[in-house]
Structure 1
Amino acid sequence: MQLLLSLIILCAAVWGGLALYYQLPLSMPWRAASLLLWAGLSIFALLRLWHEGLLQGVLIYLALHMALLWWWNSLTPSNQHLWEDNVAQMTSGHVDGNQVTLFNVRNFTWRSETDYSPHWETRQYDLSKLQSVDMLTSHWGMEAIAHVLVSFGFSDGQFVTFSVEIRKKKGQQFSEIAGFFKQYELSILAADERDAVAVRPNIRGEDTFLYRIDMPEEIRRQLFLSYIEQANQLIEQPRFYNTITVNCTTLVLAMMQHISGGLPLDFRLLLTGYLPSYIEEQGGLTDGFDLSQLRTAGRITERSKQAAQSPAYSKIIRQGVPGW
């Protein structure tokens, strides 16, 4: 029992140390001193557990951790920060029957990660012309990890891509570990495909794949409207990003569960690079092709580079994609 309780306290203490490291509003010397104090108090609780009995050690650590949780729960998300340019605005939408107006649709012209021309636009869409949904996965290193985007196509030739993004403050770098500790706020961003899609293979060197999603007309419409609803809510009620529980996949899954339900939990919802195989098992990809064929035909990396700033970018990247 002592060993089990010690392991629980140790894990909780490590979590607490990381929370303090990422969130204490102190310069490094004072932050380091605070971490040493936390470690010392946690060790003291462990020593009391082993030498003075289980109850005393557990009660001491519980008091410490309750104080930590009180401070942790006082940390609230905010939309009032100085943000990086590419997430400086938040998309919102207004729906009037079939007519949808999206505000702050991003349409940057990217020449490099640091050289770009920012454009934020207001665009209109007719839901009666909504005819397609595509899922894009973009890999930047490990096969198992990818960023997921969802793109909606309209019969008048328009495409708009939704991406669940972290809102990095000026000078911030992304870290998967920091993503567990309230380091980033969350944003749902609508963008032109020549921005949201092309920036990944063309500028960031990512390997990007496009899959046509087999989705009934009414579900397509509800998913599009759900993105707008969630984006509007984030303006009114900011949320923290979380690497596991609130990310580019879990938020979309929650929307789909609300719309249609019945989607099973699966490890591939976390290892997003394998998400296409999950969608295939749910009958959501184009019939008549196996996953390897869909992946090969849907690899748009080189087509995206060739299309670059072409006004026919969306058409070019879809050439040869099954379902198109």
Structure 2
Amino acid sequence: MTLALAVLGAWGAGALWFQLLPRPAALAAVPCWILLALSAACAPWAWPGRRRTRALLAAFAGAALVLLAWWQSLAPSHDRVWADDVARLLEADVDGDRVVLRNVRNFDWVTETRYAPRWETRAYDLSRLVSGDLILSYWMGPHIAHTLVSFGFDDGRKLVFSLEIRKERQESFSAVGGFFREFEQVIIAADESDIVRTRSNVRKEDVYMYRLRATPAQLRTLFKAYLERAERLRRQPEFYNTLTSNCTTIVFDLARQIDPGLPLDIRLLLSGHVDEYAYDQHALTPGVPFAELRRRAYIDERARRADRDDSRSFSQAIRVGIPGVPAAETR
């Protein structure tokens, strides 16, 4: 019981802190909650069987019920002052294989705070979808990465899908806050020169790209699954959750529409290892040892050279030497 009270106390403190800040109420509510939780957790040891113990437990139970009722009342919203890069929601018109997308992001990033915003309407023919690439961008050590999927068409165009937090203008990402309904989630469709380049060249994250082993039919299924998820979020906002609803779990959930037998694995939580998981599931280029595949998947040096060399487009340049990518795609 003491352990359960301590866990509930820690969760409640996090919920109050992340939901009430920067309001002064957080500075009062969190210490009071922690004091009550500690008193209730320690009471059975300090005064076993006494009236004071029962009173403290009753007080904590009442406060916990109020906290849980308040927590359940929190609702995600589309009506906030959003950061520019997540300000618009993806919209799609699908007619068979013909898809028209509105609000495709194609920002020109100079720094993280200096950029030229650009939202575009684009049309795609899914019968011309020929390739898919798994992209991992490491922003917090070797075990945590942001996961994206890039789709390639036979005319050379690329389109990347990414599930991201939908930050408000004054917010920054917090992995801990992601457990406590601090952010909504959004599906971003973007050009590679925007969403990949900003990670490799502007934020200086370590970015790896792998060619997916998938048929055109499987790629179309995955592409449409992203659109369906984006439409669901457009109609009904949802909270981002660091553990259960993030950039990696969505790829797994959508991939299961293609292969329902995909197993759960701890590497889906430690997202920096999801490339190794995909390799073990035979979803990446075969015939190359994983260590070699990973070495050649690192794109940062090529991406930064592409900024200085206009003779080759960004998408072509970053794929040079990646196993499974035809030479024609890099010329």
TMscore range, shorter length: over 0.9
Deviation at 1:140, TM superposition (A): 2.2
Give runs of aligned pairs for residues 25-40 of structure 1, distance below 5 A.
27-28=23-24, 30-40=25-35
Deviation at 1:27, TM superposition (A): 2.1
Cα distance in structure 1, aligned partners of 2:93 and 2:301: 36
Whether contact under 8 Å (1:185, 1:238) holds in the other structure is yes
Q: What is residue 78 of structure 1 aligned with on the other side?
A: 77
Give runs of aligned pairs for residues 55-94 of structure 1, distance below 5 A.
56=54, 58-94=57-93
What letter corresponds to residue 214 of structure 2 in structure 1?
M
Deviation at 1:217, TM superposition (A): 2.3
Give runs of aligned pairs for residues 45-194 of structure 1, distance below 5 A.
45-46=40-41, 48-50=43-45, 51=47, 53=49, 56=54, 58-194=57-193
Deviation at 1:47, TM superposition (A): 5.2
Q: What is residue 272 of structure 1 aligned with on the other side?
A: 271
> How many residue pairs align between the two structures?
319
Give runs of aligned pairs for residues 286-301 of structure 1, distance below 5 A.
286-301=285-300
Cα distance in structure 2, aligned partners of 1:47 and 1:223: 51
What letter corresponds to residue 323 of structure 1 in structure 2?
G
* Residue 25 to residue 140, structure 1, CA distance change in 2 (3 Å): closer
Cα distance in structure 2, aligned partners of 1:278 and 1:288: 16
Whether contact under 8 Å (1:103, 1:121) holds in the other structure is yes
Aligned match for 1:23, one of 16, 19, 28: 19
Moved more, 136-145 or 185-194: 136-145
Cα distance in structure 1, aligned partners of 2:42 and 2:203: 50
Cα distance in structure 1, aligned partners of 2:224 and 2:140: 32
Deviation at 1:308, TM superposition (A): 2.2
Cα distance in structure 2, aligned partners of 1:161 and 1:27: 37
* Residue 93 to residue 306, structure 1, CA distance change in 2 (3 Å): same
What letter corresponds to residue 92 of structure 1 in structure 2?
E
Whether contact under 8 Å (1:219, 1:259) holds in the other structure is yes
* Residue 140 to residue 40, structure 1, CA distance change in 2 (3 Å): closer
* Structure 1 stretches lacking a partner, 5+ long: none
**TM-score, normalised to structure 2's length?**
0.92
Whether contact under 8 Å (2:3, 2:41) holds in the other structure is no
SS of the counterpart of 1:258? coil
Cα distance in structure 2, aligned partners of 1:145 and 1:306: 26
Deviation at 1:179, TM superposition (A): 0.8
Deviation at 1:136, TM superposition (A): 0.6
* Structure 2 stretches lacking a partner, 5+ long: 326-331
Task: State percent identity of aligned pairs.
Answer: 43
* Residue 286 to residue 117, structure 1, CA distance change in 2 (3 Å): same
SS of the counterpart of 1:199? helix
Cα distance in structure 2, aligned partners of 1:53 and 1:77: 43
**Do residues 196 (structure 1) and 192 (structure 2) align?**
no
Give runs of aligned pairs for residues 236-251 of structure 1, distance below 5 A.
236-251=235-250
Deviation at 1:271, TM superposition (A): 1.0
Cα distance in structure 2, aligned partners of 1:254 and 1:62: 37
**TM-score, normalised to structure 1's length?**
0.94
Deviation at 1:59, TM superposition (A): 4.5
Cα distance in structure 2, aligned partners of 1:170 and 1:110: 17
RMSD of Structure 2 on Structure 1 (CA): 1.7
What letter corresponds to residue 37 of structure 1 in structure 2?
C
Whether contact under 8 Å (2:248, 2:271) holds in the other structure is yes
